[in-house]
Structure 1
Amino acid sequence: MRIGITYLGVSPTVDRESAREKYHEFLRQVEWAGDHDFSGIWITEHHFSGYSLSASPLLLLSRAAAAAPTLRIGTGILVLPLWEPVRLAADLGTLDTLSDGRLDIGIGRGYQPHEFQGFGRALDTSRDRFEEATDLLVRLLEGPVESYAGTYHSVDAPVTVLPRPVQTPRPPVWLAAVSPESTRFAVRRGFHLLGLALATPAELARQWRTAQDLAAEEGTGTDGLEYGVNRFVYCGTDPDGRRAAVREVARQIQTSRALAQGTVPAGGLPPLPARIDPADEALAAERLLAGSPDEIRKQLTELAEAGVTQVNAAFEYGALPAETAFASLRLFAEEVLPL
């Protein structure tokens, strides 16, 4: 199993100085992580809200690749319906070249209505737009495209997107797939899978079995496919720190739900709830990867037994204090990663 770090970039304030401080702290931690045994740095994509200051994940990953030249870099995930595939293929080829072939491409459909509205896109067409953009993007990354005529995208002249990616035939693609429909789409194309961040090991095991069954139906199999999952992490034995981590995971859950239900951020401020729902707090306490290094190693073993091969760990979330998050990250690196 490989362990990466995923950065959510939550910022309760959205003034210019806060953004600068957030990015400086991000780069400091990336450089630190590069001296330890993490497998990579993953960055999500969100827009128009301090829920995540990650509107330009490829730019952030370019800086991360320079700051930590031994780590892989990944998008977790690009909201593909918001992108123009030809432009994106050029950016991804450039980033894979700049990083000497260390790029992982995580893609998904997205879920926040306000983000789609801001780009003039309809959320109810996201699946069709996503599937079309995925197919065109993969063709562009793998070689020349003579022409393409889709519902949402077209290529009207022969194009060879340059620079070509270092990795052949293209960088690995990871798909956020939960439904059988999305899972079939992924295994048919040989994409790695990303499971739900809050899924239990039993739920992840069922999803992996579903993937294996669907791959068998497609005649492809799952040999060589990776199975990744994001996890909120608190490594430590301080009960106050653990309570704070549980509270902030619950706050993250509630904020994400509000945005999924169509909340429009006022002036970009994320809808961080003042009151934590006890049901969400209970859910967070159950699903948080938390405890002493020994306890967390056991939890990681359960994930491995469910079929998970890649865990992307989030140490910062909600309004968790930066010093609490970094202490957890440091202890994890010192006592969990070596084993």
Structure 2
Amino acid sequence: MRLGVTYLSISPSVDRASARQKYLDFGRQVEWANDKGFAGIWVTEHHFSGYSLSSSPLLLLGHAASLAPDLRIGTGILVLPLWDPVRLVADVNTLDQLSGGRLDLGIGRGYQPHEFLGFGRDLDSSRGAYEESIDLVLRLLTETEVTHKGEFHRIDAPVSVLPPSFQAPHPPVWAAAVSPESTRHAVRRGFHLLGLALSTPDELAAQWRTVAALAAEEGVSAEGREYAVNRFVHVGTDPAGRRAAAREVARQIQTSRALAQGAYPTGGVPPIPVAIDPADEELAYQRLLAGSPEQIVEQLHELAAAGVTQVNAAFEYGTLPAETAFASMRLFASDVIPALAELPAIR
């Protein structure tokens, strides 16, 4: 099993100094992580609020690639309906070349109405836009002299996007697939899968069985297909520390839910809850990858048995202080990663 680091945390303040500090913390952690046994760095995409200061994930990953030359870099995920496919492929190929072929391309549909409205896009038509964009992006990654006339995009003159990618035929594609339609679409195209952060091992195993069944139905091979999942992580045996971490996961969940339901940020500040719903806190407490290093190794083994081949760990979430997150990350690297290497491969 490979272990990556994913970045998603709320910024209660969105002024210039706070944004600068957020990126300094990001760079410090990425540079430190380079030789600690992690597989890669993953960055999400969000816009117009401090829910995550990651409006330019490819730029952040370019920075990460220069700071950590031994790690892969991945988008987890790009909101594909918000992108012009030609512009996206040009940026993806350039980043893949600059990183020496270390890019993983994670894609998804997105879910926050405010982000779509800010780009003048319609969330209700995001499935159609997503599927058309995928097909066009794959053509632009692998073909020359591409033209296209679709419902959402047009290329009126033949284009060959340059530079070509470093990896052949293109960077690995990972799809955030939850619904049956999205899962089938990803399986049909041979994409790797990104699972839900709060799914149980049993739920993940069930989805992996679904992937295998869909692959058989579609007549495509599941051989070599990867299955990654994000996990909120807290390394420590202090019950109070785990409870505090669970509250911050719950804060992240509630903020995400409010934005998904159409809430607007105010001056860029997201709708961060002050009072935490006890049900969300309990859910977070149970679903956290948490405990002593030995307990976390056991939990990772359960995920591997469910079919998961990569776990992308979020150490900083909600409004958890950066130093608290970094302490957990250091303990994970020193005590969890070496122990995990001794586990037998599940598949």
Contact preservation (8 Å) 1:4, 1:42 = yes
* Deviation for aligned residue 1:35: 2.0
The answer to whether 1:221 aligns with 2:221 is yes
* RMSD of aligned residue pairs (Cα, Å): 0.7
**Aligned twin of 1:162:** 162
Q: Deviations over 1:69-101 (max 9, x none)?
A: 000000000000000000000000000000000
SS at match of 2:193: strand
2:39 maps to a residue whose letter is S
Aligned partners of 1:143, 1:244: CA distance in 2, in Å? 50
**Aligned twin of 1:289:** 289
Which segments of structure 1 move beyond 3 Å, counting only runs of 4 or more?
A: none
* Deviation for aligned residue 1:264: 0.3
**Aligned twin of 1:230:** 230
Aligned partners of 1:90, 1:9: CA distance in 2, in Å? 28
**Aligned twin of 1:5:** 5
The answer to whether 1:60 aligns with 2:60 is yes
Map 1:124-135 → 2, pairs under 5 A? 124-135=124-135
**Aligned twin of 1:103:** 103
Aligned partners of 2:145, 2:291: CA distance in 1, in Å? 51
Q: Deviations over 1:212-242 (max 9, x none)?
A: 0000000002101100100000011122221
SS at match of 1:50: coil
**Aligned twin of 1:136:** 136
SS at match of 1:156: strand
Aligned partners of 1:132, 1:181: CA distance in 2, in Å? 14
**Aligned twin of 2:319:** 319
Q: Which runs of 5+ in 1 are unaligned?
A: none
Contact preservation (8 Å) 2:9, 2:319 = no
Contact preservation (8 Å) 2:9, 2:318 = no
The answer to whether 1:330 aligns with 2:330 is yes
Q: Deviations over 1:24-60 (max 9, x none)?
A: 1100000000021000000000000000000000000
The answer to whether 1:171 aligns with 2:157 is no
Aligned partners of 1:240, 1:35: CA distance in 2, in Å? 31
**Aligned twin of 1:279:** 279
Contact preservation (8 Å) 2:139, 2:146 = no
Q: Deviations over 1:159-184 (max 9, x none)?
A: 11011000000000000001111111
Aligned partners of 2:115, 2:138: CA distance in 1, in Å? 24
Aligned partners of 2:229, 2:90: CA distance in 1, in Å? 27
Contact preservation (8 Å) 2:290, 2:296 = yes
Map 1:28-67 → 2, pairs under 5 A? 28-67=28-67
* Deviation for aligned residue 1:143: 2.2
* Deviation for aligned residue 1:9: 4.2
The answer to whether 1:240 aligns with 2:237 is no
How high is the TM-score relative to the length of structure 2? 0.97
Aligned partners of 2:186, 2:285: CA distance in 1, in Å? 31
* Deviation for aligned residue 1:337: 0.7
How many pairs does the alignment contain?
Answer: 339
How high is the TM-score relative to the length of structure 1? 0.99
SS at match of 1:297: helix
SS at match of 2:6: strand
Aligned partners of 1:43, 1:8: CA distance in 2, in Å? 7
Contact preservation (8 Å) 2:25, 2:322 = no
2:227 maps to a residue whose letter is Y
Aligned partners of 1:25, 1:325: CA distance in 2, in Å? 11
Bigger mean CA offset, 108-117 vs 8-17: 8-17
Aligned partners of 1:2, 1:143: CA distance in 2, in Å? 32
Contact preservation (8 Å) 1:116, 1:123 = yes
Give aligned-pair identity as a percent: 72
SS at match of 2:157: coil
**Aligned twin of 2:343:** none
SS at match of 1:229: strand
**Aligned twin of 1:92:** 92
